[in-house]
Structure 1
């Protein structure tokens, strides 16, 4: 039995958002389209998509924004343009950047830019890490929050120091905001205030928003226009964006409004986890509605525990498990979404009891 099949058999799933069936999703989209008299866009031109792009631009404090079919295409394009503008091919990236970890060398193989690692792999990079670079940087990328290290963020003061340094040294500051919606509650600041000082911001339409896919890049009108042309050059000029925009737009406001509740539930979960000292939590305090659990068992054992609990109790504890730095340890991720928000407290504790019993 595959992991997907085993997960689908479970009546209780801890991490993430609920996943309606395709039939339910498409029916909801059809009803929303009918109620809102939605017409297809044609190559990105149409009332719905243009209004949605403008809505996100305004929310983030920018003049313009453009839809792109994938975040992978979005980010390297933004950084490529920054390099063109500044006559340098160097971009500062954290060692855990999505570009480095999950995009199969696209920045190098497609000749977008040269990556320069900065900072420590286990914490957000700081302004001093940027100051230590002797070379002329075209751009620097900040991920908010940093998924690969449990959802950590720089402090508000440190983030403002980074913004100031980049502005003073003509470094294009780009945000990987795939989970920016999740970071807002942790910062306790408006989205536009978080984005202020960034030259470009990428946000996802399918992670916290739970759409079908797609991304949006926000920036100046001239920068966005150039990005739109580069998306076309790379095969991103699909004829109808309507399904992706509808799937995000129809639930966008509700998802954004739920983020503070997800964060409050994450804070509650941290208190509960104090009763399970065998599990180490990263980060040490909640900074977004996600966290990593460091388990005192190997990756293989963690997966075996997950599968046994799923088969015997119908509870899905986590998805991916990763090797940890220490031998016979592993790391799993919890995204606190609809599932954990609406789950009875005693069910969460039961799941944790079953997890630690397998150690």
Structure 2
């Protein structure tokens, strides 16, 4: 049985949002389209798409935004254009940046830019580390929150100092904001305040939002127009963006409104996990509605425990497990969404106790 099949058999899933079936999703999309008089766009021209792009741009405090089929294309394009503008192919990236970890060297193979790794792999990079780079940078990319290190973010004062430095040194500051919507509650500030000072911002339409896929890239009118042209050159000019836009737009407002609740639930989970010290939480305090749990068992054993509890109790604990830095240790990720929000406190505590007991056997 595959992981997906085993998960589907569980009546209780901890991470993320409820996953509707394709039939449920398409039915909801059809009803929303009917209620809102939606027509297809044609190669990016259409009322729904352009209204949604303008809405995202306004939320981010930017002049414009443009839809892109994938975040991979959006980010590589943004950083390439930033480097072209400043006459330097060098981009400062955290060692765990998505561009380095998950994009199979596209920035090198397509000659988009050259990456300089900055900072410690376990912490967000700092202003001091940026200032220590002696080369002239075309851009610096900052992920908020940084997924591979448990959703960590720089302190607000540090973030503002980074913005000021990049502006003074004419370094294009780009945000990997795949989960940016999740940081507003943690920072206690509007998303536009967080995005202020960034020259470009990428946001996902499917991660926290729960759409089918797609992304937005926001920035100045001129920058966004150039990015749209580069999407065409890279094969991103699909005839209809409407399925992706509808899937995101029909639940966008509700998802953003729920983000504070997800964050409060994350804060509650931190307290509940204190009863199980063998399950160590990273970061040390909630910085978004996601976290990493460091477990005192190997990756293989962690997945065996997950599958055993799924088969015997109908509870799905987590989606992926990673090898820990220490032998016989592993790391699992939780995105705190609708699933954990809906579970009663007592039931969550029961599941945590069951999981903790399995870790000792």
TM range (shorter): over 0.9
Match of residue 70 from structure 1? 70
RMSD of the alignment, in Å?
0.4
Match of residue 84 from structure 2? 84
Match of residue 153 from structure 1? 153
Match of residue 176 from structure 1? 176
CA distance in 1, matches of 2:184, 2:140: 21
Q: CA deviation at 1:346?
A: 1.6
CA distance in 2, matches of 1:196, 1:277: 39
Match of residue 309 from structure 1? 309
CA distance in 2, matches of 1:90, 1:277: 43
Match of residue 254 from structure 2? 254
CA distance in 1, matches of 2:219, 2:301: 46
Alignment of 1:250-329 (within 5 A): 250-329=250-329
Match of residue 39 from structure 1? 39
CA distance in 1, matches of 2:296, 2:127: 34
CA distance in 1, matches of 2:358, 2:39: 53
Match of residue 50 from structure 2? 50
Matched, 1:330 2:330: yes
Q: Which 5+ residue runs of structure 1 have no aligned equivalent?
A: none
Match of residue 353 from structure 1? 353
Matched, 1:223 2:223: yes
Match of residue 162 from structure 2? 162
Spell out, residue by residue over 1:94-116, the C-alpha distance to the aligned partner (whole angstroms, 9 max, x if none).
00000000000000001100000
Match of residue 20 from structure 2? 20
CA distance in 2, matches of 1:309, 1:240: 42
Deviation beyond 2 Å, 4+ runs, structure 1 = none
Q: CA deviation at 1:247?
A: 0.3
**Residue correspondences, number:** 359
TM-score scaled by length of structure 1: 1.00
Q: CA deviation at 1:231?
A: 0.3
CA distance in 1, matches of 2:275, 2:96: 30
Q: CA deviation at 1:357?
A: 1.3
Spell out, residue by residue over 1:330-359, the C-alpha distance to the aligned partner (whole angstroms, 9 max, x if none).
000010000000001122112111211112
CA distance in 2, matches of 1:250, 1:319: 26
CA distance in 2, matches of 1:296, 1:324: 9
Matched, 1:232 2:232: yes
- SS across alignment from 1:325: coil
Match of residue 133 from structure 1? 133
Match of residue 143 from structure 1? 143
Matched, 1:107 2:107: yes
CA distance in 2, matches of 1:124, 1:85: 26
Q: Which 5+ residue runs of structure 2 have no aligned equivalent?
A: none
- SS across alignment from 1:165: helix
- SS across alignment from 1:17: coil
Q: CA deviation at 1:274?
A: 0.5
CA distance in 1, matches of 2:347, 2:111: 50
Spell out, residue by residue over 1:298-327, the C-alpha distance to the aligned partner (whole angstroms, 9 max, x if none).
101100100000000000000100000011
Spell out, residue by residue over 1:118-174, the C-alpha distance to the aligned partner (whole angstroms, 9 max, x if none).
000000000000000000000000000000000000000000010001000000000
CA distance in 1, matches of 2:242, 2:301: 44
TM-score scaled by length of structure 2: 0.99
Spell out, residue by residue over 1:260-302, the C-alpha distance to the aligned partner (whole angstroms, 9 max, x if none).
0000000000000001011110000000000000000010110
Q: CA deviation at 1:24?
A: 0.5
